[in-house]
């Protein structure tokens, strides 16, 4: 990657301006589940079902996505598996959404089983809540003070841990914005970013395919709107409203990250922005920006230039 010099103080990576901005993120409660099945296809099916309609706590009750595929040798029962991360605004919410989603989407999925992917922290009920589906025929097994449940079902038995661990040190709302010369260029850069970020453990991107095309701002002119379109980044409103977009930007895509720790979110952002810059100006990427609320709402600030300094090799001009 070449670096350049523009203006008084700039970071340019492969022709992409890394703006002097930061993502403002918030504490969340989060956990990891391990879902196994007889085949990778069915593990993926259960995981995709559980993490569906979980893009934003604003309307979905939680944010969730697949973290990665697990080889059979790495799962508790030695069958193919997937790990998923689920985040909620509070432990109380997490304790509701986890058994709800597992009950509706994993218990129902052929050959599935569900285990804790995180230990420690407050206990989130899993089998403890789902056992009643067994209608009195459910079986508990306690081995070395760890309990799991077996629910008799038509297909055989559904096995799950009684509880899963949790963390309240999770971070939600890490983000960066890709400013590009065309919609196609923005999309290609976003796809590359999501692919690279998929290799970072502990962090997921809850929006469709990992990408938000409709990044929002807080509030709006209509009463009751929690969020509304981020007009400063809307290319068709340039000139009609104060705009953050230079003339050459035709399209912007945002990537939002939730992670089990602040470090996981940072690693994910760095991987994503690096992938965007690897495509760079030749692929139509103009700049990378980030969304925040002025810095007084969220305790976690991910400064883009700080994140990318190691990649830039200290080429902040």
Partner 1 sequence: MSSHRLIPRAPLAARVDLTGITPAALAGLAAGEVARLGVPFGAGTVPLGDLFHVEPEAGDILLLGGDPRLDFVGAGLASGEIVVDGPVGVHAGSGMSGGRLVVRGDAGDDLAAGLEGGRIEVTGSAGANVGGARPGDRQGMTGGAVRVAGAVGRRLGARLRGGLILVGGDAGPQAADGLIAGTLAVAGALGAGAGRGMKRGTLLLASPPTSLAPGFVDAGPQDFIMLALLARRVPELAALFGGRLSQRANRLVGNRLAGGEGEVLVLQ
Beta carbon of residue 38, minimum distance to partner 1 (angstroms, whole number):
9
Q: Which is nearer to partner 1, 35 or 290 (CB)?
A: 35
> Backbone phi, then psi, for 243, in 5-degree steps?
-120, 145
In the list 150, 178, 233, 311, the residue contacting partner 1 (rule: CB under 8 A) is 150
Q: Does 135 bind partner 1 (CB under 8 A)?
A: no
Q: Does 143 bind partner 1 (CB under 8 A)?
A: yes
Q: Of 60-68, 154-162, 243-251, 265-273, which segment contacts partner 1 by CB under 8 A?
A: 154-162
- By CB under 8 A, tell whether 141 contacts partner 1: yes
Cα 128 from Cα 99, distance rounded (Å): 9
- Does 145 sit near partner 1 (CB under 8 A)? yes
Which residue, 111 or 261, has its beta carbon nearer to partner 1? 111
The distance of closest approach from Cβ of residue 119 to partner 1 in the complex, given in angstroms and rounded to an integer, is 13
Residue 270 interacts with partner 1 (CB under 8 A)?
no
Among 6, 119, 157, 248, binds partner 1 (CB under 8 A): 157
119 is a site residue for partner 1 (CB under 8 A):
no
Q: CB pairs under 8 A, 24+ apart, for 64-70? A: 64/101, 64/204, 64/206, 65/204, 65/205, 65/206, 65/210, 65/258, 66/204, 67/32, 67/201, 67/202, 67/203, 67/204, 68/198, 68/199, 68/201, 69/40, 69/43, 69/44, 70/34, 70/36
For residues 22 and 148, which CB has a smaller minimum distance to partner 1 in the complex?
A: 148
Q: Could you say which of 148, 207, 233, 300 contacts partner 1 (CB under 8 A)?
A: 148
Residues binding partner 1: what is the number (CB under 8 A)? 19
* Residue that is written with structure tokens 């930061």 in the block: 22
* Whole-number Å distance between alpha carbons of 302 and 305: 9
Residue 159: CB minimum distance to partner 1, A: 5
Measured on CA atoms in the order 162, 257, 227, 304, is the torsion positive or negative? Answer: positive
Q: Which of residues 73-102 bind partner 1 (CB under 8 A)?
A: 76-79
Q: Give the residue, chosen from 144, 240, 242, 296, that forms a contact with partner 1 under the rule CB under 8 A.
A: 144
- Compare residues 146 and 199 and give the one whose CB is closer to partner 1: 146
Q: How far is CA 4 from CA 1, 119, 206, 289, in A?
A: 10, 46, 34, 18
- Here the tokens at position 69 are 């595929």
Q: How far is the CB of 45 from partner 1 (least distance, A)?
A: 17
Place of tokens 């100006």: 281
Choice between 114 and 180, CB closer to partner 1? 114
| Of residues 31 and 36, the one with the C-beta less far from partner 1 | 36
Of the candidates 11, 64, 65, 159, which one interacts with partner 1 according to CB under 8 A? Answer: 159
Question: Does the footprint of partner 1 cover residue 154 (CB under 8 A)?
Answer: no
The tokens describing 159, both together, are 């096995």
* Binding footprint of partner 1 on the chain (CB under 8 A): 76-79, 113, 137, 139-146, 148, 150, 156-157, 159
């Amino acid at each position: 990657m070449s670096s350049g010099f523009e203006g008084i103080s700039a970071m340019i990576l492969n022709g992409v301006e890394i703006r002097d901005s930061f993502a403002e993120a918030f504490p969340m409660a989060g956990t990891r589940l391990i879902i196994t099945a007889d085949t990778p296809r069915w593990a993926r099916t259960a995981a995709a079902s559980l993490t569906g309609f979980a893009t934003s706590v604003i309307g979905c009750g939680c944010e969730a996505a697949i973290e990665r595929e697990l080889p059979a040798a790495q799962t508790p029962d030695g069958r193919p598996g997937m790990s998923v991360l689920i985040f909620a605004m509070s432990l109380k919410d997490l304790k509701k959404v986890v058994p709800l989603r597992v009950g509706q989407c994993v218990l129902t999925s052929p050959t599935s089983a569900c285990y804790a992917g995180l230990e420690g922290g407050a206990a989130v009920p899993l089998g403890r809540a789902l056992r009643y589906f067994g209608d009195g025929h459910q079986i508990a097994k306690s081995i070395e003070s760890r309990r799991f449940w077996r629910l008799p079902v038509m297909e055989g038995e559904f096995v799950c841990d009684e509880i899963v661990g949790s963390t309240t040190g999770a971070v939600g709302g890490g983000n960066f914005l890709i400013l590009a010369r065309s919609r196609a260029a923005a999309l290609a850069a976003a796809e590359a970013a999501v692919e690279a970020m998929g290799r970072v453990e502990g962090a997921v991107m809850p929006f469709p395919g990992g990408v938000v095309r409709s990044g929002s701002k807080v509030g709006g002119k209509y009463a009751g709107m929690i969020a509304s379109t981020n007009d400063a980044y809307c290319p068709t409103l340039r000139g009609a409203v104060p705009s953050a977009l230079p003339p050459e930007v035709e399209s912007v895509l945002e990537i939002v990250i939730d992670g089990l720790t602040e470090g996981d979110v940072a690693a994910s952002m760095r991987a994503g922005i690096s992938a965007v810059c690897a495509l760079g100006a030749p692929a139509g990427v103009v700049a990378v920006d980030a969304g925040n609320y002025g810095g007084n709402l969220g305790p976690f600030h991910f400064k883009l230039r700080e994140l990318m300094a190691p990649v830039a090799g200290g080429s902040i001009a």
